[in-house]
Each structure stands twice: as structure tokens, then as C-alpha cells.
Structure 1
């Protein structure tokens, strides 16, 4: 007879039916992991699996994306109800403590600076979102997503209200369009250096306002360690990191003394990766470019490629990897469905092993790391010496 376990996390918002984002919250955490592993294994080809890497059940999110609603006198920071009104979630138990502790100051800032919350039903108002990120060192970065520049003079005038918080960056993003797109093209630095250092496994990854980083720092650190371990076992001379972001996978691999290159479409992320590489004094080069356009066909194809694409997967890059001389691939995916599609498009690259990393407890989302190796004989007819590829820009 199975003994029922208590749920892993108490949440007053869930109990009051105010927020149901954590759909699996009533399920005991050990069972969440077991069922998650089974779902992912059923989607993917047969391979060896390490035990899933668990997360803390609460206080793990390093980023709070708060929809701002309500009124200037009584703003809400949280999510929207189906009718477009605001639901305040300032004490969300998923967020790291520095984020929770900062929320009352941010609410007071909105009131004192008289930044009108954006009202979705009427399409009026200014402040759409507050995006707050915390580093492992306890520092903070804030982005205010605004409909226009109308509130900027008042925001600048009242920035001293934020002086009690350890901000390294405060910026405003202008998003004038009324659509489900979080941010616009224009970003204005209002205070600080514009850089938040995320210290992960003793590597200081630099985040600028538009930079992507995993929302669960502890599990991201474990993901990087696992990928680095697999790369160390393969011991390639050259590694190419596609969709490299601020260089997490690449810089971990380069620290072992091998030549590494990274490619990312976002220029500010590449600037950050270059700065960290210089600080670490490693043999790593980074270029702005489209990962799908990197030269994999030439005589300088890398021995090992890392891919960490967005949810849509690698698309046409799968066929190019299949036709290349790349011997090994380490694929980090946040979407098992597109991962399964991409693996099917690379039959010469055999999945060797995988591991699930639970970045998002209490939901069905997960990060999956898979190592693939070229099947014996699959390189017949191909020419070229493995080396290090860079994009044709």
C-alpha cells in the first residue's frame, strides 16, 4: 500500500485559487520527478539515463517577471486574472528571498514615482512589467517595461527610492505595442553598470538587461557541471557552443584548457562572454551570428558541438549536423518534444546518455541534457580534419 506524502511546498496563493501556475503543486515532489522522467523517456530514443537532478522545492527562482496592474495608489505586482485585473503575488514562495524582500520597495517606488500601471482591457497606462533578477552574491538587476517614455522623467527623479537595494543595473525597456511580447527593441540604462554578475561554479557570467540565463541558478550550475564532465570524458581538442548566450557551456569547457568557440545572435551576450573569457584567461572566442549558418561542412569542423537552443529546437541545423564530420553532440533542451524531433533528424548521431534537470518544480517543464556520438562507419566518404569551425558572417 502506498503511503500518501504531503505536498512539498505551502502556497497561500494556490490554496486561495489566486494563482494556479504551479499545476503539479499538490503532487509530492518525488512523484513529480518520477512522472517527469517517465514522460521524457517515452518521448526520446532509448539511451542510458542518470538519475534526475532535483531542485529545491521553493525559493529557487532567480528572476521575477511581475505584471503590474491596479492603480497608481494601489498597484499589484504579479499576474493578470482572466478579466485583466491584477493579482498581487509579491510573496511568491518560488522566488529567491532577495526578490521577495525587494517587492515592497518596488511597490512604493511605483506609487511615489506615479507610474500608471498598464491596463490591458483599456490599453491605457504606462508600466507593464517589473523584471527583477538576483545574483548568487545577492545583487539585483531591475528592468521596467514601459509603454512609452512618458514616465521616464519621474522614474529618474525618484531613483533614490531604490538606493536601499543592492542594484547593479536599473533599465527601462520600451514596448509600445499591445501584444503578448514581453519587451520592445529600445532599452535605456537608468542606473548602475548595466551588468549583473551571476557567479556559477566560480565563473562570473555577466548578464546585461537583455541576456538570457536559466531561472534556477543552482540547477543551472549542476547542468553546466554535467555537460563539462561529459566533455572532459570525450576529451575533444575543439568545442563549438551554438546558441551560447553569455557563454555558460563554452566557458566551463574552456576552463579545462581546450579551444572553444561560441556563436550567439545577441550582440550584448557575446560582449559579455568575451569579457568573462578575458577575465578567466581561457582560449575561447565568441562571434555574433546565426547558429544555423555556422560552417560545419569544411575541413575545420569541430570535434564536439554543444547546442542550447530556444524551445523551437535547432530546426534545419539538425540536417547539417547529420551531414557534418562532427563526432559528438551535447544537446541541452528545454522542450523534449522538439528535442525528439531533432534527434530523429540526426540518425547518424546516436543518443548515448541523458539526464533530466528539474529547473521548474511543480510544472511539467524540464531541461534535458543528452550526449550523442557518431555511429561507427557513419563518417564514410566524408573528408576533413576535425578542428574548430566559426560562422560565415
Structure 2
């Protein structure tokens, strides 16, 4: 894949842009294998590849420029806006929607936030497209100053974007490198976007996490289901479950499945998805996943645990709790193989049997890894 923005030096976010895709995947697998070289007997499955372009289901666009000429993309070193609305890694439906969003910013007179001057309102536009074509749009504002104007002009935007299902405003008043604030203002009656993944339709709330590459996420859940079916557990915990992707795909009625996630919004989305799919023997709890597991593993242990932590990994305390437990099988899904390798060292009784690299992020050095661990 080649990108005019990259070639012009306007954006270098995709650090591997222009490199042969097969080489990208090979280098990622080599990097992962080297980090897990302490486990020479692990069986490495064929990497899961992606399409090279038009795979991102979510755009996080910094808003720059002016009311009359807003830019949607990133900021240059001088803090001026760089427009990237034709970015080739975004799904076509997202790119098609961005011009209407730009016109809306002008019509509603929402001033882009000037980082250098600390003046203006609109910081980010966050746009997500589901596999069925629906859109969720969020405006990240510094204050409530523009809320009434956005509400007033929203019907025009909905006519321009008939696929727009969910729209909201997120308030982020602080001047720091944090995209979202704690307060969300719903603008539509629908509060969640349906995201079909395989044979499960997930519900995504405004602040819910979901993988940026839907096709690779589907392969990820399918891999977990394959490993789970082979292990035939009677009970499963999905720690850091988010909107319930793993838990819902593993809930076939033959086993008790519990998902744990700190985000109450994500848990409500997971419960809604479970009801929609008429799944039985699956439940979700909103609490800190690591704290829950460390506390409960000393008293009860499920047969299988799925962990899908943030980049920092599961950490020493949870890893040691799993090590001391009687859990027979662990499926570890990691977005950071460095923290994965560190966590595995703290669980010597849980031996990696199979591993797989999934290229969730083509054109970058990032990737996902899944490892099947079984107790000695």
C-alpha cells in the first residue's frame, strides 16, 4: 500500500507504509517469536493476516483549522491541523461520511480547539462504522458552549448521513493528551451501535472499547472458540471482557461463562448482546477484573480463563494468582507481546502450547498475539 500523506511527509502514523505486506507480517511474527523464545516447544499457528487498506472501523480525528475550513486528521508539529479525511486505512464508509461532518462543523459554528492558544471547543471527531454499515459519531468538546447549536443542526446531519444511528457529545475540559472525558451527552435515542462479528452481534456503547479491525477480531474470537471447545471446560471466566466479545462467542449453553469488566457501560452492552442472542449460562459483572480474580481464585477456580488486558498486561499479582490456582487452561490475548512475555514468566505452571500472531494493525509495528496455556 502507498499513501500520498505518508509520501508527502504529512502523516507518518503508519510507520511501515510502503513496505511489502508479507514482510510486515513476517517481521511481526519474528518479533513475537523472539520475545517468547523461552518456550521452544510452542506450536506457532499460521499468522492471521488482514487486508492492507480500508480496514479501520474507527476514525479518531483531531479537529483543527477554522470554523469555515475545519481539518479532520492530526496536528502538525506547529499545532496546525493536517487534514486526513482521505486516509486509506479507514473503511470507505467512514471516509464517505467525513465531508458531511466537516460541513456540519461549519453550519453549527463549532470552533475547532486551538491547542497552542487553548481556545475553541471541538477537539476530536470519533466515528465508528459497524460491519452492517451503521455509524456512531461522537464530538469531543471542551465545554457545553456549542451543545445547543449541535442539537439544533443535528437533523440536517442525520439527513446527510442516513446511516448515522448513534450520536453523542463527550466533554473533555482538560488541556492534556487524553481524548475522552467522563461525561457523555446522548443526542440520539439509540445509545449503542450494533456490531456483527461472526455469529454474534455485539453492542458498542459510546465509550466501549472494540478492536479496530473487525475481520481480524472475528478470527480472534473464532480462535478462542476453537481452543475452548477442544478444552471442553465446564466453567469460563472472561477477564477484561469489554463488551463481551470472547464471553459471548464461548457461551454455547454447555458451559457457565462469566465476563468481568470495570466499565459499567461495557457490561450493560454485553448483557444486551446476550439477551439479543438468547444466550443462556452467561453473565457479566462490572468490577475490576484483576481485583476480582485475585480475590476469587483463592476460593474457586474456573476450568478456563480468558484474559484480554490493556497494553500493560495482567500484571504480577494476577499472574501469580493464576499460577497458584487450579485453572487448567488460559487463553491470553495480548496487544503487547513485551508485557505478555513478562506475564508468562510469572506463570511457569501454565505452559504455552500454541501461539498465533494476528495482524490487527497493518502498516504499523503493532499486532495482536493469542497464546493457549495449559497447566503442567
1:229 is matched with which residue: 226, 243, 255? 226
Whole-Å Cα distance in 1 between the matches of residues 20 and 118 of structure 2?
41
Whole-Å Cα distance in 2 between the matches of residues 256 and 51 of structure 1?
30
Aligned residue in 1 for 2:147:
152
Aligned residue in 1 for 2:341:
340
Unaligned runs of 5+ in 2: none
Aligned residue in 2 for 1:97:
92
Cα 1:257/1:279, change in 2 over 3 Å: farther
- Does the CA contact (< 8 Å) of 1:68 and 1:127 recur in 2? yes
Whole-Å Cα distance in 2 between the matches of residues 268 and 320 of structure 1?
27
Alpha-carbon shift at residue 72 of structure 1 (Å) = 0.5
1:133 is matched with which residue: 128, 134, 137? 128
Alpha-carbon shift at residue 26 of structure 1 (Å) = 2.2
Aligned residue in 1 for 2:312:
312
Alpha-carbon shift at residue 160 of structure 1 (Å) = 1.6
After superposition, what is the alpha-carbon deviation per residue over 1:22-42, rounded to whole angstroms, capped at 9, x for unaligned? 111121000111111001100
1:50 is matched with which residue: 45, 48, 69? 45
Whole-Å Cα distance in 2 between the matches of residues 183 and 222 of structure 1?
29
Aligned residue in 2 for 1:363:
364
After superposition, what is the alpha-carbon deviation per residue over 1:304-346, rounded to whole angstroms, capped at 9, x for unaligned? 0000001111112111111111111000000111101100111
Aligned residue in 2 for 1:176:
173
2:17 aligned with 1:25: yes
Whole-Å Cα distance in 2 between the matches of residues 25 and 71 of structure 1?
30
- Does the CA contact (< 8 Å) of 1:296 and 1:324 recur in 2? no
1:293 is matched with which residue: 285, 291, 294? 291
Whole-Å Cα distance in 2 between the matches of residues 341 and 300 of structure 1?
25
SS state at 1:171 partner = strand
Alpha-carbon shift at residue 12 of structure 1 (Å) = 1.1
- Does the CA contact (< 8 Å) of 2:2 and 2:18 recur in 1? no
Whole-Å Cα distance in 2 between the matches of residues 215 and 162 of structure 1?
25
TM-score normalized by the length of structure 2 = 0.96
2:282 is matched with which residue: 264, 268, 284? 284
Whole-Å Cα distance in 2 between the matches of residues 195 and 37 of structure 1?
35
2:27 aligned with 1:35: yes
- Does the CA contact (< 8 Å) of 1:146 and 1:176 recur in 2? yes
2:105 aligned with 1:110: yes
User: Where in structure 2 are the equivalents of 1:79-90 lying within 5 Å?
Assistant: 79-90=74-85
Whole-Å Cα distance in 2 between the matches of residues 49 and 192 of structure 1?
46
Alpha-carbon shift at residue 106 of structure 1 (Å) = 0.3
Whole-Å Cα distance in 2 between the matches of residues 139 and 194 of structure 1?
13
2:122 aligned with 1:124: no
Aligned residue in 1 for 2:258:
261
After superposition, what is the alpha-carbon deviation per residue over 1:72-105, rounded to whole angstroms, capped at 9, x for unaligned? 0110000010110000000100000110000100
Aligned residue in 2 for 1:382:
none
Whole-Å Cα distance in 2 between the matches of residues 83 and 62 of structure 1?
29
Whole-Å Cα distance in 2 between the matches of residues 133 and 257 of structure 1?
34
Whole-Å Cα distance in 2 between the matches of residues 281 and 137 of structure 1?
20
Residue-pair matches, total: 367
The runs of at least 4 consecutive aligned structure 1 residues that moved more than 4 Å come to none
Whole-Å Cα distance in 2 between the matches of residues 88 and 281 of structure 1?
44
Alpha-carbon shift at residue 299 of structure 1 (Å) = 4.8
Whole-Å Cα distance in 2 between the matches of residues 75 and 121 of structure 1?
16
1:199 is matched with which residue: 188, 196, 201? 196
Whole-Å Cα distance in 2 between the matches of residues 304 and 129 of structure 1?
40
Alpha-carbon shift at residue 256 of structure 1 (Å) = 5.6
Aligned residue in 2 for 1:273:
270
TM-score normalized by the length of structure 1 = 0.92
- Does the CA contact (< 8 Å) of 1:322 and 1:345 recur in 2? yes
- Does the CA contact (< 8 Å) of 1:311 and 1:335 recur in 2? yes
Alpha-carbon shift at residue 298 of structure 1 (Å) = 4.3
Alpha-carbon shift at residue 156 of structure 1 (Å) = 0.5
